[in-house]
Amino acid sequence: MIALSYSAPAVLVAEDEGTIAELRQRIRRSIAYRIAGLGEFHARATERQGLAAEVRAIRDRWRAGERAAATSLVTDAMLEAQAIVGPAAQARRRLDEYRRHGADEVCLTFPPGVAAELRMRTLEALAP
C-alpha cells in the first residue's frame, strides 16, 4: 500500500480575527518565498494550479529584491489553496477534505517565526 501525504506551507489554528489576519500575512510571505526563493518545485506546482501569471509576477518582484511587493501578489485564492489558517473547526473541515480526496496523512508545517505556543495549540486542536 502506498501512503499519499499532503504538506501545506502552513497549518495554523487561531480564533480571533486579528491573529488570523497576522498569520495570513506571514503565510503569504512564506508562499512567496517558496515560489520565488526555493528553486523550481513550488513554482511549478503552483503553475499547475493555473497560476502561471501570478508565479511569474511573484518571481519577478522577488528577484528584483522587492520582497514586500512579491508577498502582496500572493492572492487570497493562492493562500486558501496552499494553507490552512483559521478557527479549529474550519481547519478540521479542510483536513477532512484532503482525506476525502485520498490523502492518507497530512503533514502540518508552520511558517518561520510562529511562536511555540501557537504551534502546540494548533497540534492539540487538530489531534485525532
pTM of the model: 0.83
Please count the residues of the chain.
128
40-93 pLDDT per residue, tens: 888 998 898 888 999 999 999 999 999 999 999 999 988 988 889 999 999 999
Torsion sign across C-alpha atoms 94, 95, 100, 102: positive
C-alpha cell at 99: 482525506
User: Which segments of 38-105 does DSSP mark as H helices, in order?
Assistant: 41-47, 52-63, 67-72, 76-82, 88-100
